[in-house]
Structure 1
């Protein structure tokens, strides 16, 4: 795989020629869109969707990206030791198997390189517009088009819209009193400042989630004093992370079937450990207890101090939150320059952090590893409103109604709209595999719409309700409910107390559903101007 140094995405001149304006046909009655398909987001979901469109022969599409580069999570998160917490063989598309992974758990830079390679190989550069953050999107029922505004007040139109922004949309800034008063350096984990040297500094990290598990050991090596503020502990397994030997990479490059087999095996194992146990409910709770016991044994090999071990063991049951993997995280807290604080934070001052026990922790740099806003958070759609037919507002809907989407892809009253990661769509295994599944669903509907000569398509309320009942019934038997996870502050539960993240089936079942769902679960309508031209 070649390293991409630069890609010629849409030039300013081309952008000017395609300047966000609809073009009326000669009859003047119907609006012809700037692009047939608009994809929002150029992270791995958007890039995978773009390739899927090309492979389906749908070439009139544009991918808009708010940043100045593609990659999403793997562009933004460059903190020390950032890596995938799934095996490399899982984190790839079935049609683009990478023989060049160097480790079992690849670093973030390798994943970014893989995404760049995908965009370059499949010629996506001419379909990508950077620095084009969507500020609003509304459906025009008179035109059967989506109108999309981006930063700067520019507007474009599209027949179909696919949202491919991924699971995590924005890093969360904690609501801690006095945070703006701190006069030292503040670094968000997803906005790492590589120009700031932590060597010898007094550093504090707020948060002990997956990002912190990776960065804390590296920060501890550089800092003179590191204080980690923990609200809740995290289940951490040892990380079997060997380098991939040259002979195996040679074999993967020359015998692609080897890579395909490793991908299938790795995906099955990950799915069994995450989704399988999670969805088993009470039987899964027995396995979860065994897994928790293994973590305790592992922790004992890393930390000899019983009091410190008690702090590092979660007070919630296993799989109430997603676990992590690390060979160094637990051991880092035994270093003489590292302190774990679990008493809570009273406030931030100009000089540091005042903990709830009255102690003042003076620091030079504050690192915020405090998580992300999820895709179904209504605030995402208040910041960038999405409005459909008959006054439908996605932010209001997700606020007041259960978070939902038919097969994780579409909603009534949002015509010609598809989520490439929506509610009840994550199978917990291969993320690229999930993108393939969801884009298959969307492209089947788009293709059928074109075949029928229709200009608007929308999932029926009956089909949507049927899938929601199925998903909620299945997920209601999962560990997130049988393990009483409501008090664990888990992102597996939303503001309604539902768990709309997981798809309660295997990924293979999801794939079959994407290829076989009834196309009559959608209604198809034709714009009067188009119908009038049909012989």
Structure 2
């Protein structure tokens, strides 16, 4: 059995940020467990055509690791390079266990340790456990009758098969969310025909992308200039919460701008009607693209709305609800992730054998989206209600690290063994989150989105300014915790 002071599950930005913060705190007795056979998370896993970030790159980076980005919205290859640079810069590669797929986790009350059981790497023991597997790591593929009969190729955008040549083929892409909006413009000019199956349309805003020149990239290498640009972008994006939560007139202004953009890019009134959402902008994730609508308007692209959706699949293609049969060579599932109810994919057993799945049976919740009663020394990076719809998720991750490191340092400094959030503190925090959520467009915008769990509660999002969350995590509140 391998024993460490801290174990981190997941090697994406959350895991990397946790590792670097541990090193800066003088804690080097840790390991990162990664289920895949490579290090790096989202931007090493998602390699589908057109993959790119939808937050400006200078903000979508860790504060302690600036980078000379080549453009405002970085593409996957550059994001991967940034990830690999972080790994090398902080010597993280020798601290990772690849192929360590976690089967289950259990708390040993006598030893005050977590036991982490993996499929191929045995069992690990640790005092502190940080889950950084991320909310967008469990792909979801819906079931349709006859799926197993299909003789063509299928894969999810999360696991794009680059050995398959889609050029000149008949392709169906199921889904019209953020990944689909990037894939469709990338492959539409190269396929014979592209069938897009849309359950509900999304609001789309133009993408203000730009390449950085040599002088601008040089400026990005200067810390003061980099910090200033991050600051300017941050506060520009932070104002969006006013529309999402506090000002209906503001959000309707944004919606009118989106409608004008739709009308300008889609002259066909029939197609435009199919692409017009019937809910308030922001209720679902807003897509940011200047190429999505033109791609859907191509002669070799057909948009199938819900009433013309998939009824079944057979050996040669797709049968639609209205009785049409479509011969296709490739089906691409762009159908998202289990991002709410499946925040942690493996069984977790806490004190007195309390099961996390039972605690979260109604809906997932956690104090600061990070810790839970009955689960001492367990911290969840990007846990319930830590998502952010208007700015960089990395800002939230770094804020969480303030709290997590405070907890670990406090236990170690006092010579104690564990820290656990009090039940009443978690309940008070959760009640505040869902009380504030009632005022947001995510709850009252008239849609059902992946932001919501099966219970109807909005689980993915934090209902306020990101700096408000940062203030909540700046310092440990001892009164909210049990130290032993």
**Which TM-score tier does this pair reach, normalised by the shorter chain?**
over 0.9
Q: In structure 1, how many angstroms separate the alpha carbons of the residues matched to 2:154 and 2:388?
A: 35
Q: In structure 2, how many angstroms separate the alpha carbons of the residues matched to 1:153 and 1:241?
A: 43
What displacement does 1:311 show? Answer: 0.6
User: 1:276 aligns to what?
Assistant: 242
Alignment of 1:215-254 (within 5 A): 215-253=183-221
User: 2:154 aligns to what?
Assistant: 186
Q: In structure 1, how many angstroms separate the alpha carbons of the residues matched to 2:468 and 2:276?
A: 35
Q: Does 1:290 align with 2:249?
A: no
Q: Does 1:158 align with 2:126?
A: yes
SS of equivalent residue, structure 1 residue 399: coil
User: 1:333 aligns to what?
Assistant: 296
What displacement does 1:261 show? Answer: 1.1
SS of equivalent residue, structure 1 residue 372: coil
User: 2:286 aligns to what?
Assistant: 323
Pick one of 367, 371, 375 that aligns with 1:410. Answer: 371
What displacement does 1:205 show? Answer: 0.8
Q: In structure 2, how many angstroms separate the alpha carbons of the residues matched to 1:427 and 1:347?
A: 36
SS of equivalent residue, structure 2 residue 312: strand
User: 1:141 aligns to what?
Assistant: 109
User: 1:27 aligns to what?
Assistant: none
Pick one of 202, 208, 231 that aligns with 1:264. Answer: 231
Q: In structure 2, how many angstroms separate the alpha carbons of the residues matched to 1:440 and 1:500?
A: 22
The answer on whether the counterparts of 2:373 and 2:423 sit within 8 Å (CA) in structure 1 is: yes
What displacement does 1:169 show? Answer: 2.0
Q: Which ranges in structure 1 are unaligned for 5 or more consecutive residues?
A: 1-19, 22-33, 526-535
User: 1:395 aligns to what?
Assistant: 357
Q: In structure 2, how many angstroms separate the alpha carbons of the residues matched to 1:355 and 1:157?
A: 51
Summarize deviations over 1:224-243 as a string: whole Å, max 9, x none: 11111111111111111110
Summarize deviations over 1:94-128 as a string: whole Å, max 9, x none: 11111x21111000111111111111111112211
The answer on whether the counterparts of 1:134 and 1:151 sit within 8 Å (CA) in structure 2 is: yes
SS of equivalent residue, structure 2 residue 235: helix
Alignment of 1:442-461 (within 5 A): 442-461=404-423
Q: Does 1:365 align with 2:330?
A: yes
Summarize deviations over 1:232-286 as a string: whole Å, max 9, x none: 1111111111101111111221x3111111111212222322x332222xx2x32
What displacement does 1:410 show? Answer: 0.3
The answer on whether the counterparts of 1:408 and 1:421 sit within 8 Å (CA) in structure 2 is: yes
Alignment of 1:72-111 (within 5 A): 72-98=41-67, 100-111=68-79
Summarize deviations over 1:42-91 as a string: whole Å, max 9, x none: 01110111001111111111110001112211111111110001101110
Q: In structure 2, how many angstroms separate the alpha carbons of the residues matched to 1:407 and 1:469?
A: 12
The answer on whether the counterparts of 2:340 and 2:460 sit within 8 Å (CA) in structure 1 is: no
Q: Give TM-score scaled by structure 1 length.
A: 0.87
Distance 1:375-1:47 versus aligned 2 partners, 3 A rule: farther
Q: In structure 2, how many angstroms separate the alpha carbons of the residues matched to 1:335 and 1:123?
A: 47
SS of equivalent residue, structure 1 residue 293: helix
Q: Give TM-score scaled by structure 2 length.
A: 0.96
The answer on whether the counterparts of 1:140 and 1:147 sit within 8 Å (CA) in structure 2 is: yes
User: 2:393 aligns to what?
Assistant: 431
User: 1:508 aligns to what?
Assistant: 467
User: 1:522 aligns to what?
Assistant: 481
The answer on whether the counterparts of 1:211 and 1:369 sit within 8 Å (CA) in structure 2 is: yes
Pick one of 371, 380, 394 that aligns with 1:419. Answer: 380
Summarize deviations over 1:466-493 as a string: whole Å, max 9, x none: 11121111112111233233xx3x0121
Q: Does 1:492 align with 2:451?
A: yes
User: 1:350 aligns to what?
Assistant: 315
Q: Does 1:44 align with 2:13?
A: yes
Higher-Rg member (1/2): 1
Q: Which ranges in structure 2 are unaligned for 5 or more consecutive residues?
A: none
Pick one of 426, 432, 436 that aligns with 1:470. Answer: 432
Q: Does 1:479 align with 2:453?
A: no
Structure 1 runs of 4+ aligned residues shifted over 3 Å read none
Q: In structure 2, how many angstroms separate the alpha carbons of the residues matched to 1:91 and 1:217?
A: 23
Pick one of 202, 205, 226 that aligns with 2:173. Answer: 205
SS of equivalent residue, structure 2 residue 457: coil
The answer on whether the counterparts of 1:159 and 1:416 sit within 8 Å (CA) in structure 2 is: yes
What displacement does 1:288 show? Answer: 2.1
User: 1:7 aligns to what?
Assistant: none
SS of equivalent residue, structure 2 residue 129: strand
Summarize deviations over 1:448-467 as a string: whole Å, max 9, x none: 11122111211111211111
